[in-house]
Structure 1
């Protein structure tokens, strides 16, 4: 699979008949949907797009120009990772990624909602460090402490249970990127195992899940992308090997 990010002027690849996801390789929200598709063992195509120079056709699938977007039939799509993933779990019910208990489903949604302040602190630290405030770091750690308490209280390997579920695949893409923050000069965001033993063990367990393992990128790789973006020239194609492939999309003729 090519990891080239298509941009303004590039042609939309032909539709193969499979589910098709429009994504950006370093986007945690797009990763959420990829992980759910993997967990469901669904066949799908990935089209990566450059979010600084968006292809014109992206807006046909995602009116806001955001990723992920899921083309479920040719020319028909839905967007937003949460909307897509709830759709996938209902459309393709095996394996089920949500609890059968309505209360537990609600509790899982609360976990995701409360995690928003942690995500916000991450984005500021990673891409807007000049505006990072001490209370943001404090909120980051408060959020992690709360999540760790929930893990301990549930007493299961994953938040979903003995196997990972939608709540786990929703949170993990951010944990994958949190590990890059100390590498770009933000040691205050490190997850000290002495303080976060249960949480670190949970993250390590998630890395071994086949749905995650096939898409996971190292902290060093995420750090390189963050640094390139902060320099004003995000290196979207740093993982691309399509130069050796005859299937590279061609640009429109002028």
Structure 2
């Protein structure tokens, strides 16, 4: 799979008949859907797009110009990770990722909602540090503490059960990125094992899940992307080995 991000002026690849996901490789929301599709062993293709210089055809699949967007039939798509993932879980029930209990499903949604403050604090710390408020670090750690408490209460390996489910795949992409914050000069956001032993163990267990292992990026890679974006030139294609291998040295000017 090429990880080149298509941009303004690039042609939309032909539709193959498979599910097709429009994504950005460093987007946690798009990663949510990738993990769900991997967990369900679905056959799909991914088209990565440059969100700073969006292809003209992206709006045909995502009216807001956001990712992820899922093309489920040629020319027909839905967007927003939460909408897509519930659709996939209902459309392809062979590997169920939600509880059959309506109350448990509601509780999972509450866990995600209560974690939103930590996600917001991450974005500010990573991409707009000058806008950090005095309570941002507190909000971040309150979100982590609440999540660790919920793991303790449930007493299972993952939030869903002894196998990960939709709630786990919804939260993990942000936890993956949280580990990059100390590497970009934000040590106060560290996920310390001394303080978060249960949560860190959960995070390490999630990294071993095949659906995640196939897509996971380490903290150093996330830090490089964050730094490139903050310099005003986000390096969307840093993982595209096809671009590297095909580069030829330029001829010296006479």
- Report 1:74-89 matches (<5 A): 74-89=74-89
Question: What whole-Å deviation, never above 9, does each CA across 1:203-228 have from its counterpart, x for those lacking one?
Answer: 00000000000000000000000000
Q: Please name the residue that 1:15 is paired with.
A: 15
| TM-score, normalised relative to structure 1 | 0.96
Q: Please name the residue that 1:251 is paired with.
A: none
Take 1:242 and 1:18, find their aligned partners in 2: how far apart are those partners? Answer: 23
User: Shift in Å at residue 243 of structure 1?
Assistant: 3.1
Q: Are the aligned partners of 2:4 and 2:243 in contact in 1 as well (CA < 8 Å)?
A: no
Q: Please name the residue that 2:229 is paired with.
A: 229
Take 2:230 and 2:134, find their aligned partners in 1: how far apart are those partners? Answer: 21
Q: Are the aligned partners of 2:4 and 2:240 in contact in 1 as well (CA < 8 Å)?
A: yes
Q: Please name the residue that 2:127 is paired with.
A: 127
In the comparison of the two structures, how many residue pairs are matched?
A: 246
User: Shift in Å at residue 73 of structure 1?
Assistant: 0.2
- Report 1:16-165 matches (<5 A): 16-165=16-165
Q: Please name the residue that 2:210 is paired with.
A: 210
Take 1:22 and 1:78, find their aligned partners in 2: how far apart are those partners? Answer: 10
In structure 2, runs of 5+ residues without a counterpart are: 247-254
Take 2:125 and 2:99, find their aligned partners in 1: how far apart are those partners? Answer: 34
RMSD: 1.0
Take 1:214 and 1:27, find their aligned partners in 2: how far apart are those partners? Answer: 16
Report the secondary structure of 1:133's partner residue.
coil
Q: Please name the residue that 1:200 is paired with.
A: 200
In structure 1, runs of 5+ residues without a counterpart are: 247-254
Take 2:183 and 2:58, find their aligned partners in 1: how far apart are those partners? Answer: 33
Question: What whole-Å deviation, never above 9, does each CA across 1:44-99 have from its counterpart, x for those lacking one?
Answer: 00000000000000000000000000000000000000000000000000210000
Report the secondary structure of 1:159's partner residue.
coil
Take 1:64 and 1:143, find their aligned partners in 2: how far apart are those partners? Answer: 28
Q: Which runs of 4+ in 1 moved over 4 A?
A: none
User: Shift in Å at residue 245 of structure 1?
Assistant: 7.9
Distance 1:196 1:56, change over 3 A: same
Take 2:60 and 2:46, find their aligned partners in 1: how far apart are those partners? Answer: 16
Question: What whole-Å deviation, never above 9, does each CA across 1:17-64 have from its counterpart, x for those lacking one?
Answer: 000000000000000000000000000000000000000000000000
Report the secondary structure of 2:45's partner residue.
strand
Take 1:198 and 1:224, find their aligned partners in 2: how far apart are those partners? Answer: 28
| TM-score, normalised relative to structure 2 | 0.96
User: Shift in Å at residue 244 of structure 1?
Assistant: 7.0
Distance 1:244 1:120, change over 3 A: closer
Take 2:187 and 2:244, find their aligned partners in 1: how far apart are those partners? Answer: 38
